[in-house]
């Protein structure tokens, strides 16, 4: 049972082993697309592929690092040979590094004290190598797939790309300067690439998820008993719909942005899917 807009089209989903993008991949397959699953853990990708195949869909898992040009070039060749050239691209790969995350929300003299403070990590003692890693995977991990798979789209004269931005794209949330900087860059790059690829018939948009529960965020927003942490409660206090996002909450927006029949005149935008977080100051 496929959607005429996606039937037999080849979709590439990066970060497809994760909570959100595995759901996106399964939905695209349900709507008729042949889905290539990219990520660093083949076991996770194979599990998603098995779920897709069990319902009659087509899936190809390929382990590849989105910052590795050679690996993605090889993946692109394999996908084209086995599924056909890429027509839909979802750039969901990303992540953070604890050594690029502060343990405090504002400057404290202890972070520059010669004596230091055990367990304290402020801006002045962040690990800059890990900071660069975060920029690389979130920003270049979006740029590189766009270049490699976008080339195929430009050659065909059609295609749609959806990048993953974040609430950090709009507001510099506390403690995550590298991640926020990278995700702000994703929005700017999405706008730039949309204008650049318009003559090639390729649309480029992004989604900006609010606070969704996945493997990483669950540890921050909930305690071991499943109750909200102080940070989790603060998030809910700023979210008018008073809940965290679930993977299914993203599917309609992502699929709409990919569908030329329904959003064929939409390019260069980033859509918040956030339960109203951006609309509320919490005051």
Tell me the C-alpha to C-alpha distance, in Å, between residue 142 and each of 41, 90, 277.
18, 9, 24
* 237/276 Cα distance (integer angstroms): 11
Q: What is the pLDDT of residue 2?
A: 45
H or E segment at 59? strand 58-63
Tokens matching residue 186: 């994703």
Q: What is the pLDDT of residue 190?
A: 98
Q: What is the pLDDT of residue 4?
A: 55
Q: What is the pLDDT of residue 142?
A: 98
> How far is C-alpha 168 from the geometric centre of its chain's CA atoms?
12
Q: What is the pLDDT of residue 44?
A: 97
Q: Are 270 and 226 in contact (CB under 8 A)?
A: no
Closest C-alpha among 61, 10, 19, 59 to residue 40: 61
DSSP 147-193: HHHHHHHHHHT-EEEEEE--GGGTS--TT-HHHHHHHHHHHHHHHHH
Q: Are 240 and 276 in contact (CB under 8 A)?
A: yes
Is 179 part of the annotated catalytic residue set? Answer: yes
> How far is C-alpha 129 from the geometric centre of its chain's CA atoms?
22
* 149/146 Cα distance (integer angstroms): 6
From 6, 131, 149, 179, the catalytic residue: 179
- pLDDT per position in the chain (283 positions), as tens? 444 579 999 999 999 999 999 999 999 999 999 999 999 999 999 999 999 999 999 999 999 999 999 999 999 999 999 999 999 999 999 999 999 999 999 999 999 998 878 899 999 999 999 999 999 999 999 999 999 999 999 999 999 999 999 999 999 999 999 999 999 999 999 999 999 999 999 999 999 999 998 777 777 788 888 889 888 898 899 999 999 999 999 999 999 999 999 999 999 999 999 999 999 987 7
* 23/166 Cα distance (integer angstroms): 17
**Which domains are present in the chain?**
10-94+131-279 (3.40.50.720)
* 230/77 Cα distance (integer angstroms): 47
**H helical segments located in the chain:** 19-30, 42-54, 69-82, 128-135, 141-156, 177-197, 215-221, 230-237, 248-258, 260-263
Q: Are 195 and 264 in contact (CB under 8 A)?
A: no
Q: What is the pLDDT of residue 39?
A: 97
Q: What is the pLDDT of residue 220?
A: 79
């Amino acid at each position: 049972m496929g959607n005429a807009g996606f039937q037999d089209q080849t979709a590439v989903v990066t970060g497809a082993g994760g909570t959100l993008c595995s759901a996106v991949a399964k939905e695209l397959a349900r709507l008729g697309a042949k889905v290539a699953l990219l990520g660093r853990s083949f076991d996770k990708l194979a599990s998603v592929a098995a779920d897709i195949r069990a319902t009659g869909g087509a899936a190809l898992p390929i382990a590849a690092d989105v910052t590795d040009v050679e690996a993605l070039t090889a993946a692109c060749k394999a996908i084209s040979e086995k599924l056909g050239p890429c027509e839909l691209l979802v750039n969901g790969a990303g992540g953070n590094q604890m050594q690029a995350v502060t343990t405090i929300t504002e400057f404290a003299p202890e972070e520059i004290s010669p004596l230091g403070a055990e367990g304290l990590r402020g801006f002045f003692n962040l690990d800059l190598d890990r900071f660069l890693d975060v920029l690389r995977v979130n920003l270049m991990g979006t740029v590189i797939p766009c270049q490699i798979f976008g080339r195929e789209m430009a050659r065909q004269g059609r295609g749609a790309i959806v990048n993953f931005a974040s609430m950090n794209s709009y507001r510099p949330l506390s403690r995550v300067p590298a991640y926020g900087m990278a995700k702000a860059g994703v929005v700017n790059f999405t706008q730039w690439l949309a204008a650049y690829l318009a003559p090639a018939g390729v649309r480029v948009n992004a989604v900006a998820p609010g606070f969704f529960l996945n493997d990483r965020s669950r540890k921050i927003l909930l305690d071991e008993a499943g109750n909200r942490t102080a940070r989790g409660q603060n998030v809910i206090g700023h979210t008018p719909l008073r809940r965290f996002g679930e993977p299914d909450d993203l599917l309609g927006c992502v699929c709409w942005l990919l569908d030329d029949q329904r959003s064929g005149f939409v390019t260069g935008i980033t859509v918040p899917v956030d339960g109203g977080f951006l609309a509320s100051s919490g005051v």
